[in-house]
Amino acid sequence: MLDSFEIVTTAGVVLWSRTQASVGAHVINSLIRDVFIEERTLPPADHRGAKPTYRKEGCTVKWTQAKDVGLLFVAVYQSLVHLTWVDTLLDNVRALFVGLYGDQLRTKLSSVVDCDTFGPYFDRQVQELEGQTGSRAPGRDLTPPDSSTDGDSADETAAPPPPPPRALLDTSADSTPSQTPNPSRPATPASRVLAARARPGGAGMSRRDRKKASGSPAPASSGDEAATKRKGKSAKKNRTWGELGAEEDDGDVVLDYSQSDLRDGGPEPEQLDEIHQDTWGRRTNRGEFVLKDLDEEMDAIIQEQHANTDRAAATAAAGGIVGSSLGVIGGYFRSVVGGKTLTKEDLAKSLKSMEEHLLRKNVAREAAVRLCESVERDLVGMKTPSFTTIESTLRTSMEKALTRILTPTSSLDLLREIAAVNAARPRPYVLSIVGVNGVGKSTNLSKIAFFLLQNRHRVLIAAADTFRSGAVEQLRVHVRNLAELSRREGGHVELFEKGYGKDAANIAADAVLHAQKHGFGVVLVDTAGRRHNDARLMSSLAKFAKLADPDKILMVAEALVGSDSVAQARNFNASFGPGRQLDGFIISKTDTVGDMVGTLVSMVHATAIPVVFLGTGQHYSDLRSLNVGVITRLLMS
């Protein structure tokens, strides 16, 4: 956590500041005196490109400058805390502040800058960067105070806290009501350790202390297991796990969390924190709640300022050639002047460089080659304008090709489709989620449900993943939390489940009938993950599409999947039987890849099916609609 962030002019005037903890003014004053006035030598940066670091009285100070407007941006935090995202925060805040208030700053004899509205921009940047890195607040001691033991147990390794789950929330049940997960924030390893400290037998205690605290053996994971053991066959033993694998048996450790408060009649969850609508969407004049795109305004400001900085630095170093990975493309045309008619030979080397650039952005080779061929067709025989560089011509042509691929040819307004279906027939609108294992199908289904609940829909979630252990319990937790949150907006959500081992297609069909009978407007069907190259698993999707007859089938795919995305998209698209195919993609985990968003291009190119939503995190509100312009700029950066 940052203690302080200051924006100061070179004359010493503080234009804007944000303080989280008390930091003496002498810390920044010492920085200015030691570094900028006395010009003392600083220690080398930790890694290439890192911001300079200054340490004073247990505080770490990092800074960056905007010399053209005479500003200094300073971040202060405790030296005990390792914040890897501070460098990025400094760059982004500099770009945003200069982009928003640059005209005022460049006005001659200006002594006052009206920057009172900068707070939300800064808070949003900190929130996004903290969410991406999972940083925790400083000063939190994760070591139990009673962990010191006598000589017998001092050498024993305490069981480590379990890792955070892949799903949106921590869906393992806990008998303590106060440990109900917060749906607006993902579970973290730190919170699991703190939870272990609060109950006997926690992960932070030694085995001897756990046995003393518990007093009696923990109950078996199921009440029927002890009674149904066959004679001569031992029951499955509990084991604790350390760094080197399984350790000795420990009967006091409870390994089964599938019971207790996940069942009906368990303890009531604590009230959940509200998710503010303005952080992830807005209401239209018609009262509909619509999703934001990828923070279009801030992205545009940051990219513009970074581009200006890069262009200025590259101009000074290389005589005007743009300093990015695409600069090499323009370098091949230094001998080409305006007014020349381009030939295939002129474009060969540059298009090869363009192809390599797209591959670095995670675009599949097949899609990259086709894009370059499209650019070649556009440019061959074209006469270059007199005052336009070849590099800008290539960029413009490639941006057009990317826009043509990513722009959908039909409406993606999900709310309008639901309203039309509900008005035309008594049957509810059915949306199904499919995809390979572990891409976040249940997570993104819950995000869509939360979006629909903001629009006051009655939603039924069908648990048709009857194969993966814990899949039904996971959806049960989601529905419990969504029901709590929906009370504030007027929507309604329930879960339709029939347990494990059943036929998914029949469950989906029964869920639709149940929804029609009880007045639900939307049915969201979760399905089991399956490998796209397993013909046996994929063949069941045809039966599913026939019995459930979904109005829309969305495939969830990871943004970091790589070139395998083409095969995944094509195999799923061809698995629903004659006359039926995918209707759209949800690209999950886009917050993990930065500007390497080429998976979107690869999947749309392979199937001509549009991207409907982007998953940008683990919160219910981390769902965005696609902005083609933003994605294109990221790919060409």
**Confidence (pTM):** 0.55
Cα 150 to Cα 153: distance, rounded to the nearest angstrom = 6
* Domain assignment present for 307: no
pLDDT of residue 602: 92
* Domain assignment present for 547: yes
Over the stretch 38-89, which tens digit does the pLDDT of each residue have? 666 555 554 555 788 888 878 888 989 888 888 889 999 888 887 888 988 9
Quick one: average pLDDT of 200-228?
45
163 confidence band (pLDDT: 50, 70, 90): very low
Are 418 and 550 members of one domain?
A: yes
478 confidence band (pLDDT: 50, 70, 90): very high
Are 601 and 553 members of one domain?
A: yes
Q: What letter would DSSP give residue 266? A: -
Q: What letter would DSSP give residue 35? A: I
Cβ atoms of 565 and 604 within 8 Å: the answer is no
Cα 206 to Cα 155: distance, rounded to the nearest angstrom = 10
Over the stretch 436-477, which tens digit does the pLDDT of each residue have? 998 999 999 999 999 999 888 999 999 999 888 899 999 999
Q: In this model, does residue 192 exceed pLDDT 70?
A: no
Q: In this model, does residue 283 exceed pLDDT 80?
A: no
* Domain assignment present for 345: yes
Provide the pairing of β-strand 289-291 with 281-283: antiparallel
**Tokens in use for 296?**
């279009």
Helix 296-318, helix 119-133: angle, nearest 10: 80
* Domain assignment present for 107: yes
DSSP, collapsed to helix, strand or coil, labels residue 285 as: coil
Give strand pairing partners of 552.
431
pLDDT of residue 618: 86
Percent of the chain at pLDDT exceeding 70 = 64
Cα 602 to Cα 612: distance, rounded to the nearest angstrom = 15
Are 348 and 488 members of one domain?
A: no
Q: In this model, does residue 281 exceed pLDDT 90?
A: no
pLDDT of residue 271: 57
Quick one: average pLDDT of 131-143?
46
Give strand pairing partners of 383.
341
pLDDT of residue 275: 66
Domain extent, residue 600, equals 414-635
Domain count, the chain: 3
pLDDT of residue 442: 93
DSSP, collapsed to helix, strand or coil, labels residue 431 as: strand
Are 422 and 515 members of one domain?
A: yes
Q: Which of 426, 395, 510 is nearest to 462 (CA)?
A: 510
Over the stretch 249-263, which tens digit does the pLDDT of each residue have? 555 555 454 444 444
Give strand pairing partners of 246.
241
Q: In this model, does residue 232 exceed pLDDT 80?
A: no
Are 390 and 419 members of one domain?
A: no
Among 140-154, 375-389, 428-442, 526-540, the range with the most confident prediction by mean pLDDT is 428-442
| Count of CB atoms situated within 10 Å of the CB of 624 | 23
Q: Work out the burial of residue 619: count CB atoms within 10 Å of its CB; fewer than 13 is exposed, 13-18 middle, 19 or more buried.
A: buried
pLDDT of residue 108: 59
Q: Which of 472, 329, 484 is nearest to 397 (CA)?
A: 329
Question: Which domain-ending residue is among 130, 159, 181?
Answer: 130
The CATH number of the domain where 57 resides is what? 3.30.450.60
Taken in order 74, 77, 79, 83, is the CA torsion positive or negative? Answer: negative
pLDDT of residue 633: 87
Give how far the C-alpha of residue 348 lies from the chain's centroid of Cα atoms, to the nearest Å: 38
**Tokens 């003496």 sit on residue:** 24
Cα 205 to Cα 175: distance, rounded to the nearest angstrom = 19
Cα 636 to Cα 142: distance, rounded to the nearest angstrom = 44
Amino acid at 282: R
35 confidence band (pLDDT: 50, 70, 90): confident
* Domain assignment present for 433: yes
* Domain assignment present for 43: yes
**Tokens in use for 401?**
């090709």
Cα 635 to Cα 362: distance, rounded to the nearest angstrom = 9
Integer distance in angstroms from the first to the last C-alpha of the chain? 30
Helix 535-548, helix 565-573: angle, nearest 10: 50
Cα 205 to Cα 210: distance, rounded to the nearest angstrom = 6
513: Cβ contacts below 8 Å, ≥ 6 apart: none
Query: C-alpha distances in angstroms, 291 versus 298, 364, 614?
Result: 16, 29, 11
pLDDT of residue 171: 39
Q: In this model, does residue 624 exceed pLDDT 70?
A: yes
Are 535 and 585 members of one domain?
A: yes
> For the chain, what is the total number of helices (H) and then of strands (E)?
18, 17
Average pLDDT, the chain: 74
pLDDT of residue 286: 64
Are 518 and 630 members of one domain?
A: yes
Query: Residues for the chain: how many in total?
Result: 637
Q: In this model, does residue 139 exceed pLDDT 60?
A: no
* Domain assignment present for 263: no
The full DSSP string for 321-354 is ---STTHHHHHTTTT--TTPBP-HHHHHHHHHHH
510 confidence band (pLDDT: 50, 70, 90): very high
Question: Which domain-ending residue is among 406, 427, 455?
Answer: 406
Are 382 and 507 members of one domain?
A: no
**Tokens 């074209």 sit on residue:** 382
Are 374 and 485 members of one domain?
A: no
Are 389 and 444 members of one domain?
A: no
pLDDT of residue 167: 37
Quick one: average pLDDT of 504-528?
93
Query: C-alpha distances in angstroms, 586 versus 4, 66, 340, 421, 508?
Result: 38, 39, 44, 22, 21
**Tokens in use for 220?**
């078996």
* Domain assignment present for 221: no
The CATH number of the domain where 482 resides is what? 3.40.50.300
Over the stretch 305-328, which tens digit does the pLDDT of each residue have? 666 666 555 544 444 333 445 554
Q: In this model, does residue 594 exceed pLDDT 50?
A: yes
Q: What letter would DSSP give residue 466? A: -
Are 532 and 390 members of one domain?
A: no
Question: Which domain-ending residue is among 112, 130, 148?
Answer: 130
**Least confidently predicted of 112-116, 175-179, 242-246, 457-461:** 175-179
Cβ atoms of 263 and 222 within 8 Å: the answer is no
Are 384 and 439 members of one domain?
A: no
